[in-house]
Amino acid sequence: MVPEVGASPSSMAQPRGVKRRAAWVRDSYRRQNALFLAPYLLGTLVLVVVPALMTLAVSFTDYQGIQAPTWVGLDNFRRLTETPLVRFSLYNTLIFVVAAVPLRLLGSLGLALLLDGRRGGGLARAAAFLPTVLPETAYALVWLWILNPVSGPLNLMLGALGLPAPAWMAEAGTARLAIVLMALMQVGEGFVVLLVARQMVPAGVYEAAEVDGANRWQGFWHITLPLIMPWILLLLSRDLIVSVQNTFTPSFVLAYGGPYYSTTFLPLLIFELSFDFMDWGLASAVLVIVYAWILLLIWGARNLIEGLRRREVSDAR
């Protein structure tokens, strides 16, 4: 039915025929290509783009789900500044990002260096990757028990070591810390990216350095780190985004945003505004802010990477 690769000898003889046939193949090739893209583009349009645009539109309306939305201009954005909940959750999200992102980056980097594939360690890599892909609700439920102040294994272990046993989800500070801890266990994607980056550093570079008498630490600091820096920055921008979005399940399952709003992060706020308060105009306005913030971060990270590349180029000269 379909010609196998390299199996069209007959047309070789006639240059003209080849040309016409090539044009036809090229066209049908393009058509096929478009066909390949169609489900993805159409599906994404229908299932992601249109709903997202509807949400965007709703941010300029008063919409509570039942009556048709009515246009209110920028009123929802004005209300954002007046709603204490928005302030709380912005603050919480910021705290989480500031605490979790650097820790997650360091964790990814540490794992990538330690679990480098050159000398085995495959199962350790699989183990470290696992928490990232476990079903979220099941994993959060396991943590709910681990963090139990009295019968949870974490506090039992701390107690056995003679360390203070915090009340975890019952207090604002430790509740946030617990969510950060959970996020720190799930750095699988980041460490894999850095693993790849590390492996792409040519071995010859290290050999040359060893001749110069560099030790491991110097090798890392002067060779590996600069070479994988663009990847770290890429990961940084990705993690900034992920940290804003991925706090939903842990804070929802573990404490429903409590105690006293301390784990009410932006996604949970949007959830509550939409489905509990039925204030979709306001919820959409928060979403728009989140999205704008993310775009800004990406833009910043991109500029940073570009700047770094340019400096590298000029250094090389």
Partner 1 sequence: MRGRVATVLVHLARLGIALLSLLPLYWAVIISLRQSGQPPTTTLEWWPQSFHWDTYAEVFRTVPMARYARNSLFVVSLALPLTLLTASLAGFALTQLTTAWRQRLVTASVALLLVPGLAVWTFRFHILNLLGLVDTLWALIVPGLAGGSPLFVLLFYWAYWRVPHELYESARLDGADAWTVWRLVALPLARPTTIAAALLAFVLYWGDFTTPVLYIYSTKMYTLPIGLQLLRQMDETNLPLLMAAAVMMALPIVVFVVLVQVLFLRDRSLANMVDIE
Partner 2 sequence: MKRIGKVLLIGLVVSLLLSGCVTAPEKGKQVSFMISGEPAEVAAYQALVDAFQAKYPQIHIDLRSVANSGDYMKQLVTAFSAGAQPDVMLLNHRRLAQFAAQGGLEVLGAYLDKSQGLHAADLYPQALEAYTWDGKTWCIPQNVSSLVVYYNRALFDAAGVAYPAAGWTWENFLAAARALTRDLDGDGKTDQYGVGVSAELMRLAPFIWQNGGELLDDAATPTKLALDTPEALAAFQWFVDLQVKEHVAPDASAEQAQGSEARFENGSLGMFFNSRRTVTTFRTIAALDWDVAPLPQGVTAASILHSDGYCMSAKSKVKDAAWTFIEFANGAEGQTIMAGTGRTVPSLRAVAESAAFLDPNQRPAHSRVFLDVIPSLRHMPNLPKWPSIEETASNEIERAFYGQATVEEAAAMAISQTLTYFEQTK
Q: What's the rounded Cα separation, in Å, for the pair 250 and 182?
A: 8
Based on the shown chain and the rule CB under 8 A, indicate whether residue 169 belongs to the binding site for partner 2. yes
Number of residues in contact with partner 1, rule: CB under 8 A? Answer: 96
Q: How far is CA 80 from the centre of its chain?
A: 26
Q: If you search the block for the tokens 């196998």, which residue do you land on? A: 4
Q: Quick one: tokens of 78?
A: 């004005």
Based on the shown chain and the rule CB under 8 A, indicate whether residue 134 belongs to the binding site for partner 1. yes
Q: What's the rounded Cα separation, in Å, for the pair 95 and 101?
A: 10
Q: How far is CA 293 from the centre of its chain?
A: 14
Based on the shown chain and the rule CB under 8 A, indicate whether residue 11 belongs to the binding site for partner 1. yes
Based on the shown chain and the rule CB under 8 A, indicate whether residue 224 belongs to the binding site for partner 2. no
Q: Quick one: tokens of 141?
A: 């439920």
Based on the shown chain and the rule CB under 8 A, indicate whether residue 94 belongs to the binding site for partner 1. no
Options 113-121, 124-132, 234-242, 268-276: segment touching partner 2 (CB under 8 A): 268-276
Q: What's the rounded Cα separation, in Å, for the pair 191 and 108?
A: 4
Strands (E), the chain: 61-62, 70-71
Based on the shown chain and the rule CB under 8 A, indicate whether residue 51 belongs to the binding site for partner 1. yes
Q: What's the rounded Cα separation, in Å, for the pair 191 and 109?
A: 6
What residues between 173 and 202 interact with partner 2 by CB under 8 A? none
Based on the shown chain and the rule CB under 8 A, indicate whether residue 69 belongs to the binding site for partner 1. no
Residue with smaller CB distance to partner 1, 170 or 295: 295
Kindly give, in sequence order, each residue whose CB lies less than 8 Å from that of residue 56, ignoring residues fewer than 6 positions away.
284, 287, 288
What residues between 206 and 225 interact with partner 1 by CB under 8 A? 216
Based on the shown chain and the rule CB under 8 A, indicate whether residue 143 belongs to the binding site for partner 2. no
Residue with smaller CB distance to partner 1, 153 or 300: 153
Residue with smaller CB distance to partner 2, 38 or 196: 38
Q: What's the rounded Cα separation, in Å, for the pair 60 and 73?
A: 5
Q: Quick one: tokens of 76?
A: 């929802």
Based on the shown chain and the rule CB under 8 A, indicate whether residue 111 belongs to the binding site for partner 1. yes
What residues between 247 and 306 interact with partner 1 by CB under 8 A? 248-249, 267, 270-271, 274, 280, 284, 287, 290-291, 294-295, 298
Residues that bind partner 2 (CB under 8 A): 2, 64-67, 79, 82-85, 148-151, 167-171, 258-261, 274-280
